[in-house]
Amino acid sequence: MPRNIIDVIDLSVAEIDQLIATAEDIIANPVKYQDACAHKQLATLFFEPSTRTRLSFESAMLALGGSVLGFSEANSSSAAKGETVGDTVHTVSCYADIIAMRHPKEGAPYAAAQFSEVPIINAGDGGHNHPTQTLTDLLTIHREKGRLDGFTIGFCGDLKFGRTVHSLVNALSRYGNINFVLISPEELKLPRYVKEQSLKPKGIPYTQTTDLESVIPQLDILYMTRVQRERFFNEEDYLRLKDSYILTPEKLRSAKPDLSILHPLPRVNEIAVAVDKDPRAAYWKQVKNGKFIRMALILKLLGIEV
């Protein structure tokens, strides 16, 4: 059975630490890795549009000297003819050495993994999991703070449908001495099951609030999220909630000077463009980190040591 990454908790803390160490080494010595995946092929199966994740995977494989194949929307695959996820993945696993897959249905990568002869990486399944974004977030926090424990992190925006938030809360709950501040409208609060699975059993402190400005001074990290139109069945609810939290230079005046602002992107308007010039904005560095951690993950799943 190939090793698959469906959920970030498929990786142990030791494995995540090792991936971060590999990513740091790739950043420091890119030439050392440039032919590590020569003659290996990555298939990117994107049943749902994506800019960052797909291009990041492709860029990662190319930077490792491998090649890529795949599709970027369901309409250009046999899914449009009614082919099941299992059959599509079974077919592609005959051509590629590793598969990165995004699908709008939750659990699709888990289903796919049952039919694949090569490793599957979940590149996002609906509102459920997005483990490589979480690894990207962890690498970014590690690079910004030099550690993955001992800080206060605020999650702001859509905490209900934001899969990146669920995964990151879960991943960080395995590290010590982290204080979670959950900032959202009532309708978009972090689901109860995430709190019950990740925070409560470990006695991890968390506070919930609807007011960003009152808590921003205590934060070491602020993780902003977009209110996602595609997760709503009702357009009216989306329109009512989409402008709930907009981060501006004014709101940042009371924040710590060493705050790190993260965002999984894409953003709509929840971070004003003027914030991009603030040295505390880490979200463009986060994008770059996504490529390096995916390089590390591809190497690991292919069993390649450099």
Partner 1 sequence: MNIDSISNGVVLDHIQSGKSMEIYQHLHLDRLDCQVAIIKNARSAHMGRKDIIKIDSPMELDLDVLGYIDASITVNIIRDGKLKEKKHLELPQRLVNVIRCKNPRCITTAEPQLDAVFLLSDPERHTYRCAYCETALDKQF
Task: Answer yes or no whether residue 90 interacts with partner 1 by CB under 8 A.
Answer: no
Can you tell me the distance from the alpha carbon of 20 to that of 3, in angstroms, rounded to the nearest whole number?
18
Catalytic residue, from 22, 40, 54, 102: name it. 102
Site string for partner 1, 174-203 (x = CB under 8 A): -------------------x----------
CB 82 within 8 A of CB 265: no
Task: Answer yes or no whether residue 110 interacts with partner 1 by CB under 8 A.
Answer: yes
Crossing angle of helices 131-145 and 13-28, rounded to 10°: 70
Helix (H, G, I), strand (E, B) or coil at 76: helix
The interface region with partner 1, picked from 64-72, 90-98, 124-132, 136-144 by CB under 8 A, is 124-132
Residue closer to partner 1, measured from CB, 103 or 294: 103
End-to-end CA distance of the chain: 23
Question: Does the active-site annotation cover 39?
Answer: no
Residue closer to partner 1, measured from CB, 121 or 271: 121
Q: Tokens 């505390």, residue?
A: 280
Torsion sign (Cα): 152, 180, 17, 68: negative
Question: Does the active-site annotation cover 277?
Answer: no
Q: Tokens 């996820």, residue?
A: 85
Task: Answer yes or no whether residue 126 interacts with partner 1 by CB under 8 A.
Answer: yes
Options 18, 34, 84, 179; binder of partner 1; rule CB under 8 A: 84
Minimal CA–CA distance to 212: which of 265, 284, 155, 253?
155
Options 105, 147, 202, 229; binder of partner 1; rule CB under 8 A: 105
Residues that bind partner 1 (CB under 8 A): 84-86, 103-108, 110-111, 125-128, 193
Catalytic residues: 52-53, 81, 102, 130
